[in-house]
Amino acid sequence: EPEVTQTPSHQVTQMGQEVILRCVPISNHLYFYWYRQILGQKVEFLVSFYNNEISEKSEIFDDQFSVERPDGSNFTLKIRSTKLEDSAMYFCASIALTANTEAFFGQGTRLTVV
């Protein structure tokens, strides 16, 4: 069964450093998303991406965040200058937008900022 793949599974970084979280969505999917889950809290929408541009972003997705689809397969989330409060689990998801509009989620990247 096709799946969304995220790497790394866990990343530790120093405050102020840049991090790039990587996702490989399912190959025929057209919509891509990033979500964040701070420990013990709910999953929050960050950004959606369609046709090589951001289609929607939440208030969490400020100027330190950016997304990119650098090639035909990868979808990345960059955090330019990490803060302690960026520590969270980050989930990538993709949707085919056919009759089945279910989002397929990756297993997440746990980001720890120290």
Identify the residue among 11, 13, 76, 105 touching other proteins (CB under 8 A).
Answer: 105
Residues 39-78 that bind other proteins (CB under 8 A): 41-45, 48, 50, 55-56
Regarding 91 and contact with other proteins (CB under 8 A), the answer is yes
The b-or-e profile of 5-36 (16+ CB within 10 A means b, else e) is ebeeeebebeeeeebebbbbbbeebebbbbbb
What the block records as the tokens of 59 is 């208030």
**Which residue number, 46 or 113, has a Cβ lying nearer to other proteins?**
46
CB of 59 to other proteins, least distance (A): 13
